[in-house]
A and B are shown apart, each in its own frame.
Chain A
Amino acid sequence: MSTADPVTPVLTKRWLSPNSWRLSVYEQLEGYTAVKKALSKPPEQIVALVKDAGLRGRGGAGFPAGVKWSFMPQNEEKRHYLVINADEGEPGTCKDIPLMMADPHSLIEGCVIAAYAMRSHHCFIYVRGEVLHCIRRLHAAVREAYDAGYLGKDILGSGFDLDITVHAGAGAYICGEETALLDSLEGRRGQPRLKPPFPAAAGLYAAPTTVNNVETIATVPFIVNGGSDWFREMGTEKSPGPKIFSISGHVERPGQYEAPLGTTLRELLELAGGMKDGVPLKFWTPGGSSTPMFTAEHLDVPLDFEGAAEAGSMLGTTAVMVFNETVSVPWAVMKWTQFYEHESCGKCTPCREGTYWLAQVLERMVEGKGTEEDIDTLLDVCDNILGRSFCALGDGAVSPITSGIQYFRDEFLALCETNKSKQSESALVGAQA
C-alpha cells in the first residue's frame, strides 16, 4: 500500500484500517448506512441516482451503469439476476481482488442496493478461481452479512429479500466476458454467447440479468451516501468519479492509487514515486494488456474514457503497467500474445487461429528468425482479427501488437536485421565451401 496520499480516497479509504474486512470495522466506518437509505426509496429512484451520477462501468468498456440497470424489465414475471464479474484476469489488472480483500462489505452493500434497484433477489459473485484467499474472505463476509441481517429475507425490515452466492471460476480468462461468464456460471463451458438476446433480456438461466464489475458496484454505496453532485465533483464531465489505478512495473512504489478519472500518468508517476532507479520510461499500458500501449509522449494524456480513446487507446481497467527502457517491446508483445493464445476460447476462427499464428510469428521474431515481411504479415493478420472476432478478446489480443509496431517498429526491424545478416553470412560460408 502506498504511503503517498491518494488524491481521492473513496473506495480505498477504509483499506488501511486494521481488519478493514470485518463487518464491525465496516460498520464503524459508516458501512451499511447507504443500504438503509436506499431501501427506503423506490427502486426507480436509485437507478435515476446512479444515472445522474454518471457512473460508468469499471470493467473496461465504460458503459453507463444506470443505463444498463434501466434495461432490466420493470415487472417481475421472471426472476432477475445480478451477477458481479469478479473474474479479474486481465494482465496487469489487480484492483478488484484487493478491493474484495480489504473491503468486501462495500461490494456486498453495493450488491444489496443494486439488486434492490433492479428487483433482483439473487446475486452471484463470480470470482476468479485462482484467488482462493479472496474467495474465502468473500465467503466470510457474506456469512457475516447474513448474520447481521444485511442479506437474506426481509433485509433491515424493508421486506426486500436477497441471497448472494459466491461462485469460483475454473480458470479461464474468457469468463471475464459477461456472456461467457454466464455460461460458466450455469455450468457450461465458458464461451461467449450470441447477442442478441442481451443479458438484460435473457441472461443467466434465460432470465433478465445484469452483469457489473466489482468496482462499479462497490462505488454505488458512496453515490447513495454522497449524492450524484458530490460524485460529479471528481473526474471529468463525461467520466465522473474516482477510479482505482493499479500501477505496476518499473516504478518506485507500485500499488493501488485512487484518483479521479482524468488524472495523467505524469501525476500518477509522482504518486508512485517516479520511475524505478530513474531508468527512463519506454512504454506503458493505460488499462491492461488489451489496451494499445502508450509511450513517454503520452505522459499527459488524461486518463478517462474519452482521453484515452482520443489518444488511440482505451481506458480499460486502468491497470497501468509501466515499462522502462530495459524491456524489449517485441518480447513483451510476444509474452502478451502467448497469453491470448492460451486463453482464446476457440469459439471463433479469427481469435482461435489468429492468436496461434501471431504467437508463432512473434516467437520466431524474438528468436531472431523473423523477416521484414513477417512484420507486414503480423499487421495484416491483426487487421483480420480486429473487429472480426466474436467477442472483444480478439480485439484485445491484437492491440499490443499493432500499437507495439506502431511505436517501436524499429525494434522489430532490428530483430529482423540481425536475422538477415546471419542468413547472408551463412550463405557466404556455403559459397566458400
Chain B
Amino acid sequence: MTMAPEETETEVPEGHVKLIVDGEEVIAPKGELLIRTAERLGTVIPRFCDHPLLDPAGACRQCLVEVEMGGRPMPKPQASCTMTVADGMVVKTQRTSPVADKAQQGVMELLLINHPLDCPVCDKGGECPLQNQAMAHGRASSRFVDTKRTFPKPLPISSQVLLDRERCVLCQRCTRFSAQIAGDPFIELLERGVHQQVGTAETAAVFSGTPAPEPSDMASKTSSGAPFQSYFSGNTIQICPVGALTSAAYRFRSRPFDLVSSPSVCEHCSSGCAERTDFRRGKVMRRLAGDDPDVNEEWICDKGRFAFRYAAASDRIRKPLVRDAKTGELVETSWTEALRVAADALSKARDARGAAVLTGGRLTVEDAYAYSKFARIALRTNDIDFRARAHSAEELDFLAGVVGTTPDHVSFAAIERAPTVLCVAIEPEDEAPIVFLRLRKAALKHSTKVVHVGQWTTSSVRKTNGELLACEPGGEAAALDGIAQHAKDLDAGLAEAGAVILLGERAAEVVGLFSAVQRLAERTGAKVAWIPRRAGERGALEAGAAPTLLPGGAAVSDADARAALESAWRLDAGVLPSSPGRDTTGILWAAATGDLDALVVGGIDPDDLPDPALARKALAAAGFVLSMEMRPSAVTEHADVVLPIATVDEKSGRFLNWEGRPRPFTVTLEGTNALPDCRVLDTLAVEMDADLFTQTPQASFADFERAVSAGRSVVRETNGSGTAEHSRPHAGESNGNGKLKLATWRQLIDEGSLQAGEPHLAGTARTAVVRLSAATARDHGIEPGEHATVSTERGELTLPAEIADLPDGVVWVPARSPVSIRTALGVGHGGAVSLSGGTA
C-alpha cells in the first residue's frame, strides 16, 4: 500500500480551482459560490436570501466572510452567497475570522431590531432559520430600546397565503421565486428603506391580456389589491426563512415537535413529486416539497401541497357497506359479509354475461396490478380499463409502445437539456405543473425553444417564452403534419439531438393525432413522451389494466405472451381470456344495454368520463356494482357493495411517473386499519376461488415483476387495434350541431374529488371563463366582460366572456367550471357548440 506523501500537490481537475477555506485546502468547481464550498467542508455560513435554486441576491448580508485574493485581503467582508470561488483565494468564515463573526453577529442584531416578538404565536417557531441562526450567530441580548417598525397583520395576499410584514426580513426569496421559477410575479417589493415590504399589485393586471379578476370573483378579498394568484404560491411559504408567509391551511395547527415527518409521493399528477408529509395524532397536518433533483427539485404545486384533506374528511367510508334489499340503503356490515355478497354476485355475473373493471387513474402500480389480475383470473375477462377520461382505440395502440419506457427515454433532465420541446395537446401548467417548471427553466436558463400546439396563448406558452402553433381543436394532427411545410425552423429544431415532443391526455380526443405524432417523431427523430394527467395512469398501463394489454405490455391476443403469463401465474394453460376487452366506453355501453352483469369500479367520477350520462345509466342498469371507494361518490350511489380502501397516506406502494420512474412510498399513517385495493381484491378473489397473491403491496409488486419478466421472454407482437370491435362512437362527441368548435381542458385547481375539504386552495383556482376571439365575440354580440352562453342539444353553460387570441370560431371553456363540461354539454375537446350572449 502506498500513501501519498503529504507534500504532494493535489491535482486540480479541469474546470476546478484550488482555494483555502478556514485553513483547509479545497478543490471546487469553477463558478461555485463560496457559501456552498464552505458547506461541503461542513461549515454552515448563516444565510437568508441565499437559495441554491434561485439567482443570488446578496440582500441580507448575513453570510459575510473574509476573503483574501492573490495574497491581498479584501478591504470589506464579502457576501459568500454572491462570490464565486477563484484560484488561490483564502477564505475565512466565522469559524476562523473574528471579523466575519462580528459582521454576522452585527447583521443578525440588525435583522432582529424590527422583528416582532412573535415566536410563541408564529407558525415558523421551532423550525425557523431566523430563530436557529439567531441562537447560533446572534447576541444573547438586544441593545435596541427604541420603537419597532410595525405593520397591520396578517395581510392575506391570496386565500391561501398570509403575509406578516413585520416578520419579513426582506430576503426576496418569495419575490425571486415568483418571478424566476414560477413566472407569476404577483408579489414584489414596495416602498423603500425600513418601510420596504412585500406586497401585491394595487390594481390592474400584472400581465396584459389577463385582467385581474373582478373583486367579486376573488376568493379572498385582500386589502392589498390583486391576489397572489399562482399555482406555486405554497413554495414561497416553504422557502420563507421567517414566518412572514404562512398558509391559511396550516395556520396554528401544530409545532414541529408535534409532527412526525415521513417522505411521501404526491398522488395528484403524473410528475410524481417527492413530498414530506407531516402528521400529528393520526391526521395529516401539512405537506411540504421534498428535495428530488431528478424530478421536482425543491418545488411542488399548490395542489400537491394543500390537497390532502379529503383523506381526513368526516364522510370517509371506514366500514364495508352493502345495499339493503328492503330499504335500498347502504348499511354498514362486516368485511366477511360484504366480501361474501360481492364474491357471490361477481361469480354469478362472470358465469352469466360477464363482469368488467374500471379502475380509475389514481392507483399505485401494486393496486392497478391487482385489478388487472383480478379481472383476468377472477372475472376471466379482458374488460378492464384505467382510462376514466376521454380515450380512443388509437390511444391504446400508441400506449402499447409507451409501456416499459424509462427515464432513459425522456426525463425531466432531458426536457431541461432539450434544444426544442413541442407540447402537443397539453397545457403543462394545468396538467403537469412540475413539467411546466422544467420547461420554464429550460427556456430561461438553456434557451430551449418551446412550441405549443394549442388554441391560444395560454400562461404556459407565455411563461415558457413559448411559441404558439395555433390550430382548431381537433386540427392538431393536421397542424403537426403541416410542420414540415409551414414551420421549417421548428422541423429543423425537432431534428436536433435531444428534441422532445410532449403529448397530453387530450390527444385521445383528436382523431389521428397519435399517428401524426409518431410520423413526426419518426421523420425528425424527436423523442415522444406521454404525460397523462393522473398519477396512476402510467403505472396502470404498465400493470396491464387495459383491455388489450397484459401486465408488461404484451398484447392479450399474443398467445405466447399469454402462455408465459399463465406459467408465471401458475395457471392452467389456456385459461387466460384471449379476446381483447372493451374499453371504458365499451364497458359502460355494454353495461347500459345489458351486455354486462356486473361492474367493479375504483376511484371514478362519472363527470370525468366521455359521456357522464351513459356512465350513470350504466351504473344504474348494471345488475351488480362493486365500488372500491374512500368517500361517498356518484358511483357509491349506485353501488350494491362498497368496500372502503386506503388513501395514499395509509398504504405503501409506488406510482410510476410519466417518465416511467418508480416513485415508491411507505405507509405514513400507521394503524388506521385501512386496506389497500390490492389486499381487498386479493381477499375478494379468494372468496371467488382465485389466488391473486397480492395480499400486501410488497407481495403484489413482487408478483408484478414476475409477470413482467415472464412477458419479456416472449417476442412482443406488434399490436393490432384490438378494441375496434367493441368501441362505440364517443357518444357525446357528435351530437353538437353548433357552428363553433370547443377547446377545453381541466385546470389544475377545480372541483376534483381529491381537492375536497380545502377551501383555501379552492380560492386560488383560476376563474372559469369562456375564452373566444374578438371577432367571434363580435359576431355573437358579446361584449368583453359580459357573460357568454355555450350550448349544445344537451344543455348550456354560462360564464363570463374573455377575449383571447383563439382562432375565430373556437371557444375555450375549462373542463370543470365547476360543473363538468361533459355533463353540461355532452361534448369534449373538438366538439361542436353554439354560442350566444348570456346573462349572469
Q: CB–CB under 8 A between A and B in the complex?
A: yes
Binding site for B on A (CB under 8 A): 172, 174, 189, 191, 194, 341-350, 352-357, 360-361, 364, 377, 380-381, 383-385, 387-390
Q: In the assembled complex, how far is the CB of residue A272 from the closest CB belonging to chain B, in whole angstroms? A: 35
* Given the contacts A388-B103, A390-B59, A390-B61, A350 and B193 also touching, CB distance less than 8 Å: no
A347 and B106: CB pair below 8 A?
Answer: no
Q: Mark B178-210, 1 if CB is under 8 A from A, else 0.
A: 000000000011011111100000000000000
Q: Which of B144, B170, B188, B193 has the most CB of A within 10 A?
A: B193
B111 and A349: CB pair below 8 A?
Answer: yes
B113 and A356: CB pair below 8 A?
Answer: yes
Q: Which residue of B lies closest to A377 (CB)?
A: B143
Binds A, one of B74-82, B566-574, B615-623, B760-768: B74-82
Q: Which residue of B lies closest to A172 (CB)?
A: B192
B110 and A353: CB pair below 8 A?
Answer: yes
Q: Pick the residue among A343, A348, A354 that contacts B59 (CB under 8 A).
A: A348
Measured CA separation A360–B148 after assembly (Å): 10
* Given the contacts A349-B61, A349-B62, A344 and B110 also touching, CB distance less than 8 Å: no
B196 and A348: CB pair below 8 A?
Answer: no
Q: Which residues 1-60 of B sit at the A interface, judged by CB distance below 8 A?
A: 56-60
20 further A-B contacts with Cβ under 8 Å, apart from A189-B189, A356-B113, are A194-B57, A341-B194, A346-B194, A346-B196, A347-B170, A348-B60, A349-B169, A349-B170, A350-B61, A350-B110, A353-B111, A353-B114, A356-B193, A356-B194, A360-B146, A360-B147, A384-B106, A388-B61, A388-B64, A388-B103
Q: Which residue of A lies closest to B110 (CB)?
A: A353
The 8 lowest CB-CB distance pairs between A and B, nearest first, are: A384-B106, A346-B196, A387-B76, A360-B146, A353-B110, A344-B193, A356-B194, A346-B192
Q: Which of A174, A348, A353 has the most CB of B within 10 A?
A: A353
Interface size class of B (residues with CB under 8 A): 35 or more
Q: Which residues 127-182 of B sit at the A interface, judged by CB distance below 8 A?
A: 143-144, 146-147, 149, 169-170
A356 and B170: CB pair below 8 A?
Answer: no
Q: Pick the residue among A174, A381, A384, A390 that contacts B58 (CB under 8 A).
A: A390
A349 and B194: CB pair below 8 A?
Answer: no
Cβ contacts under 8 Å, B193 to chain A: 341-346, 352, 355-356
Q: In the assembled complex, how far is the CB of residue A365 from the closest CB belonging to chain B, in whole angstroms? A: 11
Q: Pick the residue among A191, A342, A343, A388 that contacts B106 (CB under 8 A).
A: A388
Cβ contacts under 8 Å, A342 to chain B: 193
Between A and B, 16 residue pairs with Cβ closer than 8 Å are: A189-B188, A194-B82, A341-B193, A344-B192, A348-B58, A349-B61, A349-B107, A350-B61, A352-B194, A353-B110, A354-B110, A356-B193, A360-B146, A377-B143, A380-B106, A388-B106
B110 and A349: CB pair below 8 A?
Answer: yes
Measured CA separation A357–B106 after assembly (Å): 13
Q: In the assembled complex, how far is the CB of residue B775 from the closest CB belonging to chain A, in whole angstroms? A: 33
Question: Is B367 close to A, CB under 8 A?
Answer: no
Cβ contacts under 8 Å, B113 to chain A: 353, 356-357
Q: Which residue of B lies closest to A353 (CB)?
A: B110
Question: Is B109 close to A, CB under 8 A?
Answer: yes
Cβ contacts under 8 Å, B169 to chain A: 349
Cβ contacts under 8 Å, A389 to chain B: 61
Q: Pick the residue among B56, B60, B75, B188 that contacts A349 (CB under 8 A).
A: B60
* Given the contacts A194-B57, A348-B59, A350-B61, A384 and B107 also touching, CB distance less than 8 Å: yes
Measured CA separation A407–B147 after assembly (Å): 29
Measured CA separation A388–B110 after assembly (Å): 12
Q: In the assembled complex, how far is the CB of residue B84 from the closest CB belonging to chain A, in whole angstroms? A: 9
Cβ contacts under 8 Å, A172 to chain B: 192
Q: In the assembled complex, how far is the CB of residue B140 from the closest CB belonging to chain A, in whole angstroms? A: 15
Measured CA separation A160–B418 after assembly (Å): 43
Measured CA separation A233–B77 after assembly (Å): 39
Q: Which of A341, A343, A350, A385 has the most CB of B within 10 A?
A: A350
* Given the contacts A350-B106, A353-B113, A388 and B191 also touching, CB distance less than 8 Å: no
**Secondary structure call for the B interface:** loop
B75 and A387: CB pair below 8 A?
Answer: yes
Q: Which residue of A lies closest to B103 (CB)?
A: A388
Cβ contacts under 8 Å, B57 to chain A: 194
Cβ contacts under 8 Å, B146 to chain A: 357, 360-361, 364
Measured CA separation A269–B464 after assembly (Å): 64
Measured CA separation A350–B58 after assembly (Å): 12
Binding site for A on B (CB under 8 A): 56-62, 64, 75-77, 82, 102-103, 106-107, 109-111, 113-114, 143-144, 146-147, 149, 169-170, 188-189, 191-196
Cβ contacts under 8 Å, B103 to chain A: 384, 388
Cβ contacts under 8 Å, B107 to chain A: 349-350, 384, 388
Cβ contacts under 8 Å, A383 to chain B: 102, 106
Measured CA separation A106–B77 after assembly (Å): 41
Cβ contacts under 8 Å, B60 to chain A: 348-349
Q: Which residue of A lies closest to B55 (CB)?
A: A194
Measured CA separation A389–B60 after assembly (Å): 9
Q: In the assembled complex, how far is the CB of residue B111 from the closest CB belonging to chain A, in whole angstroms? A: 6
Cβ contacts under 8 Å, A191 to chain B: 189
Measured CA separation A380–B110 after assembly (Å): 11
A388 and B144: CB pair below 8 A?
Answer: no
Cβ contacts under 8 Å, A357 to chain B: 110, 113, 144, 146
Cβ contacts under 8 Å, A353 to chain B: 110-111, 113-114, 194
Q: Which residue of A lies closest to B194 (CB)?
A: A356
Measured CA separation A344–B188 after assembly (Å): 18
Measured CA separation A384–B105 after assembly (Å): 9
Cβ contacts under 8 Å, A345 to chain B: 192-193, 196
Measured CA separation A71–B332 after assembly (Å): 82
B56 and A194: CB pair below 8 A?
Answer: yes
Measured CA separation A353–B196 after assembly (Å): 11
Measured CA separation A174–B196 after assembly (Å): 14
Measured CA separation A376–B719 after assembly (Å): 84
Cβ contacts under 8 Å, A349 to chain B: 59-62, 107, 110-111, 169-170
Measured CA separation A341–B188 after assembly (Å): 21
Measured CA separation A347–B61 after assembly (Å): 10
Q: In the assembled complex, how far is the CB of residue B197 from the closest CB belonging to chain A, in whole angstroms? A: 9
Cβ contacts under 8 Å, A387 to chain B: 75-77
Measured CA separation A341–B196 after assembly (Å): 12
Q: In the assembled complex, how far is the CB of residue B413 from the closest CB belonging to chain A, in whole angstroms? A: 28
Q: Which residue of A lies closest to B62 (CB)?
A: A349
A352 and B106: CB pair below 8 A?
Answer: no
Measured CA separation A380–B139 after assembly (Å): 13
Q: Which residue of A lies closest to B195 (CB)?
A: A346
Cβ contacts under 8 Å, B106 to chain A: 350, 380-381, 383-385, 388
Q: In the assembled complex, how far is the CB of residue A392 from the closest CB belonging to chain B, in whole angstroms? A: 11
Cβ contacts under 8 Å, B61 to chain A: 348-350, 388-390
Q: Which residue of A lies closest to B108 (CB)?
A: A349
Measured CA separation A191–B172 after assembly (Å): 13
Measured CA separation A361–B147 after assembly (Å): 10
* Given the contacts A194-B57, A348-B61, A377-B143, A384 and B109 also touching, CB distance less than 8 Å: yes
Q: In the assembled complex, how far is the CB of residue B656 from the closest CB belonging to chain A, in whole angstroms? A: 42
Q: Which residue of B lies closest to A345 (CB)?
A: B192
Q: Which residue of B lies closest to A342 (CB)?
A: B193
Q: Which residue of B lies closest to A384 (CB)?
A: B106
Measured CA separation A387–B73 after assembly (Å): 14
Cβ contacts under 8 Å, B82 to chain A: 194
Measured CA separation A255–B77 after assembly (Å): 39
Q: Which residue of A lies closest to B115 (CB)?
A: A353
Cβ contacts under 8 Å, B143 to chain A: 377
Measured CA separation A284–B675 after assembly (Å): 83
Q: In the assembled complex, how far is the CB of residue B411 from the closest CB belonging to chain A, in whole angstroms? A: 32
Measured CA separation A387–B61 after assembly (Å): 10
Q: Which residue of B lies closest to A373 (CB)?
A: B143
Q: Which of B62, B77, B113 has the most CB of A within 10 A?
A: B113
Measured CA separation A341–B113 after assembly (Å): 15
Cβ contacts under 8 Å, B194 to chain A: 341, 344, 346, 352-353, 355-356
Q: In the assembled complex, how far is the CB of residue A390 from the closest CB belonging to chain B, in whole angstroms? A: 6
Cβ contacts under 8 Å, A385 to chain B: 106, 110
Q: Which of A346, A377, A380, A389 has the most CB of B within 10 A?
A: A346
